[in-house]
Amino acid sequence: MTNNVLTEYYFSDGNKIILLDRLGMENLYGKIECARNIYLLDMYGATIWQVSSDFDFEGNPFTSLTLCDDGGIIAYRWDGGNYTINDKTGIATPVILMK
């Protein structure tokens, strides 16, 4: 398994959020797993949540992750969608189509 971390941010409580590279890896991971490539991990590396959305069946992975000054989490999918991610649940909600 390839776990190439594209982006990671650390929080003051010891948790971290990571974005894994899953672009073009549908044959290895499947569509759903490729689309759910952002994780919140605790200080020991255990998964607190894995991102999910209503569009994961399309298999489009996230390719960019940004933490906003207000604490919000924004992620971009390679198909052109910008999503906000709930920091408590990992649920991703589309905000705008960029393409």
The per-residue pLDDT for range 23-74, each reduced to its tens digit, is 999 999 999 999 999 999 999 999 999 999 999 999 999 999 999 999 899 9
List the domain boundaries for the chain. 5-97
Q: What is the DSSP letter of 15?
A: -
Rounded Cα distance, 12 and 86, in Å: 18
When pLDDT is cut at 50, 70 and 90, the band that residue 98 belongs to is low
When pLDDT is cut at 50, 70 and 90, the band that residue 1 belongs to is very low
Query: Does pTM surpass 0.75?
Result: yes
Q: Which fold is adopted by the domain 5-97?
A: Thrombin, subunit H (2.40.10)
- pLDDT, position 12: 94
Rounded Cα distance, 43 and 40, in Å: 10
CA distances from 18 to 22, 52, 74, 97 (A): 12, 14, 13, 23
CA distances from 44 to 14, 17, 29, 48 (A): 9, 13, 24, 11
Look at residue 13 and tell me whether its pLDDT is greater than 70: yes
